[in-house]
Chains A and B, each alone.
Chain A
Amino acid sequence: MDERFVQVGIRPVTALPVQEKKQYKDKPIFSMTVFMVIAMGCLFCNFFITKDPAYMDLYNTNAAPGAEFYFGTDAMGRDIFSMIWYGGRISLFIGFFASVISTVAAIVFGVFSGLAPKWADDCLMRFTEIFLSIPSLLLVIMIQAILGKANVFSISFVIGITSWTSIAKVVRTEVKQIRDSEYVIAARCMGAGFFRIMWRHLTPNFISSIMFMVVMNIRAAMAAEATLSFMGMGLPLEVISWGSMLSLAERSLLSGAWWIILVPGVFLVMTLLCITDIGNYLRKSVNNRRSNL
């Protein structure tokens, strides 16, 4: 400041040290790294897996982890190390695909419900409540039975269409707040259809508030796939995924082969943990103000 204009009567205040926020701070670097390693390992597993994941080495069933089989073999003599990376592809794919299906369903349903007149909106909301009141496990079993034998796509579909309700509710609330904005009315006056308004005008405005839930849906879908396969309703044993690997876990209890339980489980939990961490980062921080307590 120019010395001629020094103001009098103001107590000189030492500037507070401004905390410089580092770029990487608060970002889930560790989780992102682990997740990338797992994802890349699964994508490029062909380059480093030691055995054919589907090959059944009947001389080495239930072999303990060692130099030849890094993570041991399962009850059918398949190499768990190779299966983990190979099967991770399907688990991750189901997670993402199911999440895409549920998100699209939720957006369409939520926007429709948000734009609809009050009576229709009430009916739709009542419908979601009824939908939620059927135990999801039973719903999944029944829908899967209608679709026939389970494969990767039908599993994703079943998981996707049973997990859209909570996102749809948030979308509906958001849409109700912005549906009377000028730009929506203007678009309507110019004759824009339902899908154009939804996609061009509404979705960009609420996408940030559902991003966290979408990521969490990936996590839920992966857990659901594992649960279903474990209970014998998901992927059959020949289709290698983390879930179908775990479906052998119950039988391995008695043979004491802990690695069949532990290895896929740890990979699954690690992945879910990383996804949760990334999701939490995406969640808009509720409150940055200081506590008054």
Chain B
Amino acid sequence: MRHKNIFLYYIQKFIVFVLSVLVLSVVVFYVSRLAPGDPLYSYYGDRVEKMSDSEREWAENQLGLNEPIHIQYIHWFANAIRGNFGISYKYKTDVIKIIGGRLPNTLILGGIGFVLIYVLALGLGILCTWYEDKWPDRLLCKIGTVTSCIPEFWLSIALIFLFSIKLKLLPSSGAYSIGNGENVIDRISHLTLPMTVVVVSHLWYYAYMIRNKLLEEVRTEYVLLAKSKGLSKKNILFKHCLRNIVPSYLSIMAISVPHILGGTYIVETVFSYPGIGTLSYESARYQDYNMLMALCILSGALVILCNIVVQIVNERIDPRMKKDEGLQVSEVIEIG
């Protein structure tokens, strides 16, 4: 990429990003509208059943639901490009406002979780490499495999049962007690359990990847050379090997965004945590189209952006990196 005009290069990446988001919006729009559910239900609730045909028609007209899908999409797109994502059928207010109110909660849960996972994963990875095949490594591998096998929702339920119901130490749902929104300690106590689940269920997956990358690294020749020059183990591992796994570390981080995001969705739903996850779950189940579109675009754009950023960063750090080498995960991205 050195010899190309750097400006053109970024323009190209930007166009790819915009096109991807556009395709994403078309796909989500069509798929969500193909579902046979009744969007009027989420707007009018039970009253839908008592509506006469003419009333229904009027309501559909009001919400712009009686036109062919592609016309609906053009309308939606024309509004969305001006920042107007429509109103939520369920909450009857601007979609952006509702998302804006919920987003900080998810950012706290997902963001802190993300940072914790990465700091801890790196630490565990280094620890395992340091003690390769000795008891700390073996023990960590065993424990890690077990924790990564526990489904998130089950871990959540088990923790709620233990800490909220039996020991009565921590609250089981919500982001704060009513009237206590500003109280930091209250917030933290509500955050502890969901955060534990998010971190525990993802941690080993990434720690193991980092461990394997590091193990590959310490088998290279330059490590032998450094050792024969009399450098200490600490020096070699921290100054030489760690630097070389930075590109993989960054790509793993970027790939993990949808993974961790999906995980917080499930955790949020189980803990009734008022974030983006519960909101998307509701909107997809009850055909709250505008909300669903806005949320899908939001999370989709974030993921696509992460992928592109990691490509750019990788190419700058290590120009040998081939176009998609950084994005190979030989593991399965699973639900949650």
* Interface residues in chain A, defined as those with a beta carbon under 8 Å from any beta carbon in chain B: 125-127, 129-130, 132-143, 145-146, 148, 159, 162-163, 165-167, 169-170, 173, 212-213, 216-217, 219-220, 223-224, 226-228, 230-231, 233, 246, 249-250, 253-254, 256, 258, 261-262, 265, 268-269, 272-273, 276-277, 280, 286-287, 289-293
Tally of A-B Cβ pairs under 8 angstroms: 204
Contact A291:B334 (CB < 8 A) given known A135-B280, A138-B284:
no
Determine whether B154 belongs to the interface, using a CB cutoff of 8 Å to chain A.
yes
Interface bits B216-259 vs A (CB < 8 Å: 1, else 0):
10111101100100000100110001000000000000000010
> What residues of chain A lie closer than 8 Å to B182, measured between beta carbons?
none
* B20 cross-chain contacts in A, Cβ below 8 A: 126, 129-130, 133
Q: Are A224 and B335 in contact (CB under 8 A)?
A: yes
Contact with A along B10-45 (1 / 0, CB 8 A): 000000100110011001100110111100000000
User: Are B215 and A287 in contact (CB-based, < 8 A)?
Assistant: yes
> Would you call A289 and B219 a contact (CB within 8 A)?
yes
Nearest chain B residue, comparing its CB with the CB of A293: B218
Residue B174 interfacial (CB < 8 Å): no
Contact A134 B35, CB 8 Å, known A253-B161, A268-B154: no
Q: Are A287 and B304 in contact (CB under 8 A)?
A: no
Does more than half of chain A's interface fall in helix, strand or loop, or is it mixed?
Answer: helix
B49-57, B66-74, B312-320, B325-333 - interface stretch:
B325-333
Expressed in whole angstroms, the Cα–Cα distance for A265 and B157 within the complex equals 10
- Whether the pair A246, B149 counts as a contact (CB closer than 8 A) is no
Asked whether B300 is an interface residue with its Cβ less than 8 Å from the other chain, the reply is yes
**Contact, CB under 8 Å: B165 / A134:** no
- Assess whether A134 is in contact with B300, with CB atoms less than 8 Å apart: yes
The secondary structure that dominates the B interface is helix
B331 contact set on A, CB distance < 8 A? 166, 213, 216
Q: How far is the CB of A211 from chain B (nearest CB, A)?
A: 12
- A sample of 7 inter-chain contacts (CB < 8 A) reads A130-B24, A135-B265, A159-B335, A165-B333, A246-B153, A268-B151, A293-B241
Q: Is the Cβ of B328 less than 8 Å from the Cβ of A173?
A: yes
**Which of A125, A227, A290 interacts with B335 by CB under 8 Å?**
A227
Q: How far is the CA of A34 from the CA of B148 in the complex (A)?
A: 19
- Complex CA–CA separation, A131 to B291 (angstroms): 19
A144 to chain B, nearest CB (A): 9
Also in contact, A293 and B237, with CB within 8 A (given A135-B280, A137-B262, A146-B31) = yes
CA distance A233 to B334 in the complex (A): 17
Tell whether, in the assembled complex, residue A227 and residue B151 are in contact, meaning their CB atoms are under 8 Å apart. yes
Which of B154, B227, B237, B304 meets A130, CB within 8 Å?
Answer: B304
B189 within 8 A of A: no
Verify if B79 is at the interface (C-beta below 8 Å from A).
no
B105 CB-CB contact with A under 8 Å: no
Complex CA gap A265/B330 in Å reads: 27
B23 near A231 with CB under 8 A, answer no
Contact B262 A135 (CB under 8 A): yes
| B98: Cβ under 8 A from any A Cβ | no
Give the residues in chain B near A213, CB-CB below 8 Å: 330-332
Q: Contacts A220-B334, A256-B165, A273-B146: A169 and B284 contacting too (C-beta < 8 A)?
A: no
CB distance from B17 to the nearest CB of A (A): 11
Expressed in whole angstroms, the Cα–Cα distance for A165 and B210 within the complex equals 22
On whether the beta carbons of A134 and B335 are closer than 8 Å, the reply is: no
> For the complex, what is the distance from the CA of A130 to the CA of B284, rounded to whole Å?
18
Nearest CB in chain B to that of A250: its residue = B157
- Cβ of B215: which chain A residues have Cβ within 8 Å of it? 286-287, 291
Most buried by A among B241, B284, B301: B284
B residues less than 8 Å from A219 (CB atoms): 149, 332, 334
In the A-B complex, the 4 residue pairs with the closest CB atoms: A220-B334, A145-B35, A133-B303, A292-B223
B206 to chain A, nearest CB (A): 15
